[in-house]
Amino acid sequence: MGSKFWPKRGSPGILHHFTEALVAFEFTPGTKPQPHSILFLGGLGDGLATTSYVADVVAGLEPTQWSLFSLNLTSSYQSWGFGHLDRDTDEIAQCVRHIQEYKAAKYGAPGKLVLMGHSTGSQCVLHYLSRPNPHTSTPAFDRGLEHAERPRVDGAVMQAPVSDREAIHLIMRDGFLGRTPAELRETYDRLVAMARDAVARDPGCDSMLPIPLTSQFGYPRNTPVSCRRFLSLVSPDSPASPAEDDTFSSDLGDDQLAATFGMIRKRGLLKHKLMVLMSGADQAVPDWVDKEALLERWRQATDRSCSKGDGADAQIWDRERSGLIPGASHALSNDDQAEPRAFLVRRVLSYLEDLEKRD
């Protein structure tokens, strides 16, 4: 993250322990009361405030009644390779509960709370809203999973939702880091075979894949990747049988979308609208993906349970604000991203203003 995005004097705020080992940082740059909250969820490799445009959102929130929290999960920084979405959303639920109790003690009411995810953080948002509550899966390799009940939230924002599987296939099509498509395909097939074999041989353990092989696809050399997480990210049985992390691929069928976007209404964890913002020039999205058509498919899956007589207020998808951020890179972190970041902040502030008007 370039220092140009953050004030050199640092950022004032409060460090919260929402578990004994996990913390969230609440940015408090102004003096105005801030009874409402955004809980920001970063992508793979992110930690406290490592997504650069968070600084722009925090600055935009200064005159409002909203504060932004950035959190550490067990899977933050270099630990994502052994993480999984059930554990992430269990910990997010614990943080949501802490924020609600903290704001209630400070302001007399928990206020409104919005989940905002970037990249894999968007997968966490969708997983939080669409999966059974509490989770019903019991992975033998993660016996410490608490299956926390997830509190309802007032709003949800997803920015740069991308398919890790399609990003891998883009790399294999074009070559990467001096390796040819054929060489990468050979490595991919080898990794998939190794991962499948390890999971089959020892269901109660999650072992690490060789870093010299996983790093060929851009996974950092300081980040171990487990067999289970690799299979979840690359989802070799998709599109017929997508793995947990494969929620945003363009070739998923309507049945698969109905099991994710289509379950938001049934779970009842989102009180109001879902705003989805795709980066218009996202490097992780292959050129064969029609972003606007994909957004429309997600919208249809999300609102399919609405009857024609329900009206606009019953629709979950925020039609007014969802869409592409023109010219935006994946994390809006390039030197030419000032306008895309300003566009994002305007959309977020408009969304929050509308949410404040609702009961």
10 Å Cβ neighbour count for 279? 27
Cβ atoms of residues 146 and 90 within 8 Å: yes
Q: How do residues 176-228 score in pLDDT, each as one tens digit?
A: 989 999 999 999 999 999 999 999 998 878 899 999 999 999 999 989 999 99
Contact in structure between 267 and 134 (CB atoms under 8 Å): no
Query: 186 is written with which tokens?
Result: 């050979």
Question: Average pLDDT for residues 306-315, to the nearest whole number?
Answer: 61
% of the chain with per-residue pLDDT over 90: 84
Pair type for strands 274-279 and 113-118: unpaired
Domains and CATH numbers, the chain: 3-163+250-356 (3.40.50.1820), 166-234 (no CATH)
| Rounded-to-integer distance, Cα 346 and Cα 326, Å | 13
Helix residue ranges, H only, the chain: 54-61, 85-107, 120-130, 164-174, 181-201, 211-214, 227-234, 254-258, 264-267, 291-303, 338-356
- pLDDT category, 285, cuts 50, 70, 90? very high
* H-only helix segments in 84-180: 85-107, 120-130, 164-174
Q: What average pLDDT does this structure show over 122-130?
A: 98
Average pLDDT, whole number, for the chain?
92
Q: Which of 58, 33, 54 shows the shortest CA–CA distance to 42?
A: 54
Residue 127, classified by CB atoms within 10 Å of its CB into exposed (0-12), middle (13-18) or buried (19+), is: buried
